[in-house]
């Protein structure tokens, strides 16, 4: 019995709530609708009359409208140009290629071979202040690489140039010299500035050496490469020149 009375009271409250909302909505629609329409009409008429009495305001409104339209148009054009413009890319060095290249000299009795590496631009961005460095030379003792006297960085010499920094451009190869051998020398001759005196007695044709090379440039990460080298009995046919 108590449960039925409780449900009856809840139904009455719900019915009363819906009835009050309906009455209020009907009152507002009947009495305030006309008032809102009247106020809006009066406001529009007042603004229109003011503009008719002050025609110069139309000039100001037109000028503001044209200015906003011009700014919007220029912004859209600039946005399209920016989308078409290629995105600037960060310079990046690629150091993969190694070659052995014969080179002519002014002396017909002197024959040489140059060992070179090729730094390249791996993105369309050019690389400024590019330098090559021989970090160190190590020697293989049969079980591991051991340090030698050539354990300080030396600037490598660019092919057909000096060791000064250069600008690398995409698609233009600029080789970097590491060392050279010849038919009259019994050691590898470093292409560095300067050449340490220890190099002439150390870099013989019979031992196996490791050349650690780094190329650096402005605003880009350095690139490293290591070469394992053994010349052997014939200077003109090196036994081993390969990347590690």
Count helices and strands (H / E) in the chain: 3, 12
Q: Report CA-CA distances (Å) from 69 to 43, 76, 80, 147.
A: 28, 11, 17, 72
User: Mean of the pLDDT values across residues 206-233?
Assistant: 97
Q: What is the pTM of this model?
A: 0.65
User: Mean of the pLDDT values across residues 89-113?
Assistant: 92
* Sequence ranges of the domains in the chain: 2-84, 93-243
Q: How high is the mean pLDDT of the chain?
A: 84
Q: Tell me which residue of 194, 229, 193 sits closest to 211, measured CA to CA.
A: 229
Whether 205 and 192 have beta carbons less than 8 Å apart is answered as no
pLDDT of 5 over the 60 cut: no
Q: Tell me which residue of 174, 177, 91, 88 sits closest to 128, measured CA to CA.
A: 91
Residues of the chain above pLDDT 90, percent: 61
pLDDT of 8 over the 50 cut: no
At 72 the pLDDT is: 78
pLDDT of 181 over the 80 cut: yes
State the DSSP code for 86: P
Least confident of 30-44, 61-75, 143-157: 30-44
Is the model more confident about 240 or about 55?
240
> CA–CA separation, 29 vs 170, rounded Å?
75
At 243 the pLDDT is: 93
First to last CA, the chain: 95
At 86 the pLDDT is: 46
Query: 111-157 pLDDT, tens per residue?
Result: 999 999 999 999 999 999 999 999 999 999 999 999 999 999 999 99
Residues of the chain above pLDDT 70, percent: 70
At 74 the pLDDT is: 75
At 38 the pLDDT is: 72
At 59 the pLDDT is: 63
Query: 137-150 pLDDT, tens per residue?
Result: 999 999 999 999 99
Axis crossing angle, helix 2-53 with helix 56-84, rounded to the nearest 10: 110
- Out of 3.40.630, 2.60.40, 1.10.1660, 3.30.43, which CATH number does the structure's domain 93-243 have? 2.60.40
The CB-side HSE value for 188 (13 A sphere, CA atoms) comes to: 26
pLDDT of 211 over the 50 cut: yes
| Helices within 54-103 (DSSP H only) | 56-84
> CA–CA separation, 33 vs 201, rounded Å?
107
Rounded to 10 degrees, the C-alpha dihedral 67/68/73/76 comes to 140
- Residue 45: burial class (beta carbons within 10 Å; 0-12, 13-18, 19+): exposed
The full length of the chain comes to 244
Is the model more confident about 76 or about 236?
236
Phi-psi region of 168 (alpha: psi -120 to 50; beta: other; left: phi over 0): beta
Confidence band for 52, pLDDT divided at 50, 70 and 90: low
Structure tokens at 43: 């406001």
């Amino acid at each position: 019995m108590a449960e039925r009375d409780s449900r009856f009271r809840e139904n009455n409250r719900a019915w009363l709530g819906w009835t009050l909302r309906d009455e209020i909505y009907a009152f507002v629609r009947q009495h305030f609708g006309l008032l809102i329409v009247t106020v809006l009409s009066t406001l529009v008429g007042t603004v229109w009359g003011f503009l008719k009495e002050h025609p110069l305001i139309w000039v100001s409104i037109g000028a503001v409208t044209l200015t906003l339209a011009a700014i919007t148009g220029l912004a859209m054009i600039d946005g399209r140009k920016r989308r078409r413009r290629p995105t600037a890319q960060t310079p990046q060095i690629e150091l993969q290629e190694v070659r052995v290249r014969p080179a002519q000299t002014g002396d017909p009795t002197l024959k040489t071979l140059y060992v070179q590496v090729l730094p390249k631009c791996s993105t369309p961005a050019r690389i400024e202040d590019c330098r090559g460095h021989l970090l160190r030379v190590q020697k293989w003792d049969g079980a591991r690489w051991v340090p030698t006297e050539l354990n300080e960085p030396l600037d490598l010499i660019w092919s057909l140039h000096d060791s000064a920094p250069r600008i690398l451009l995409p698609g233009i190869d600029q080789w970097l010299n590491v060392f050279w051998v010849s038919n009259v020398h019994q050691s590898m001759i470093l292409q560095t500035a300067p050449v340490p005196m220890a190099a002439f007695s150390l870099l013989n044709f019979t031992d196996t050496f490791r050349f650690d090379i780094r190329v650096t440039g402005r605003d880009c990460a350095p690139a490293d490469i290591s070469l394992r080298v053994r010349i052997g009995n014939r200077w003109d046919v090196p036994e081993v020149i390969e990347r590690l």
